[in-house]
Amino acid sequence: MKIAVVGSGALGLYYGALLQRGGEDIHFLLRRDYDAVSKNGLKIFSINGDFELPTVQGYRRSEDIGPVDLVLVGLKTFANDVLRELVSPLIGKGTNILTLQNGLGNEETLAELFGGERIIGGVAFLCSNRGEPGEVHHLGAGRIIIGEYVCGDQDRLKMLASVFNLCGIDCRITDDIKKARWEKLVWNIPFNGLCALLLQTVDRLLAVSHTRSLIRQIMLEVIRAANTQKLSTPIAEKYAEDMLLFTDNMGVYKPSMLIDREEGRQMETTAIFRKPLESGQNLGVAMHRVEMLATLLEQVGP
């Protein structure tokens, strides 16, 4: 399968590297890593075993890749205004688009640009950071959940999941991609928000009883909002405790928004905070803690 990776950060490089190692025809659209990857290839340092790809197909322009079978979108959501420019040259008659971006609204944006029938939603539960140019550090997890946006074509989901699983990526299919997105927001909103705001890693927050309790309360706010969104089944309150225990095992981990703030980059406040807030408030759910987090993050961001 010919696959273009648009948004070659820690997520895009990691999954693209696994797919290339598994035999797929991978083409990376690169910016800061272009020179390093072109010269030295790609290095993955992973809890599942390190590996190196000495030769990688990297490009500065989508036009040099041309039409592909699948576009894997890992772009930060604040850059969605360039999706038309980056993705259009990759579209052929049968091209599918899989978004693994954070937050809400990404499927809708892509559907408006390229047609809903092409769009597959995806949620990545991945702990990874970039190292030096051309290096990715995989620290934990890695599961992907995929689901149809509008098409309802289970066969293409099964085919895509099979490809990913054969390449060593735990990929599962859901009938409710909206629920999977909200489940990730239960983790993303408190940990990305508080870690970025306080400049602390997840373990530091969990080690203090008061901040651990605050995280739980934020998670419960998100769960209450999620359960107004016509999900296939409600998210149980116990899911918050499950996420706390899951995070206890991460050790010293920096969520993506903390890294973005440390490096002076824009943070994904709209997709991860403002859109979920709007979705909840439109259905009468007050999310006071989440709104406070969003407001403070917008004050400290670049």
**What's the Rg (C-alpha) of the chain?**
19
Return left, alpha or beta for 69; rule: phi > 0 is left, psi -120 to 50 is alpha, else beta.
alpha
Per-residue burial over 152-170, b if 16 or more Cβ lie within 10 Å, else e, is eeeebbeebbebbeebbbe
> Can you give the pLDDT at residue 148?
96
The backbone torsions φ and ψ at residue 299, rounded to the nearest 5 degrees and listed phi first, read -80, -30
- % of the chain residues with pLDDT over 70: 100
Q: Which of 302, 216, 225, 224 is nearest to 266 (CA)?
A: 302
Write out pLDDT tens, residues 226-273. Answer: 999 999 999 999 999 999 999 999 889 999 999 999 999 999 999 999
Catalytic residue of the set 76, 179, 184, 275: 184
Mean predicted confidence (pLDDT) in 22-34? 96
Write out pLDDT tens, residues 185-235. Answer: 999 999 999 999 999 999 999 999 999 999 999 999 999 999 999 999 999
> Can you give the pLDDT at residue 151?
77
Domain ranges of the chain: 2-175, 178-300
Tokens matching residue 99:
């978004």
Instruction: Based on the residue annotation, tell me whether 39 is a catalytic residue of this protein.
Output: no
> Can you give the pLDDT at residue 301?
72
**What is the homologous superfamily of the domain 178-300 according to CATH?**
N-(1-d-carboxylethyl)-l-norvaline Dehydrogenase; domain 2 (1.10.1040.10)
Q: Which of 10, 16, 30 is nearest to 260 (CA)?
A: 10
Under CATH, which number does the domain 2-175 receive? Answer: 3.40.50.720
- The pLDDT confidence band at residue 152, using thresholds 50, 70 and 90, is confident
pTM score of the predicted model:
0.95
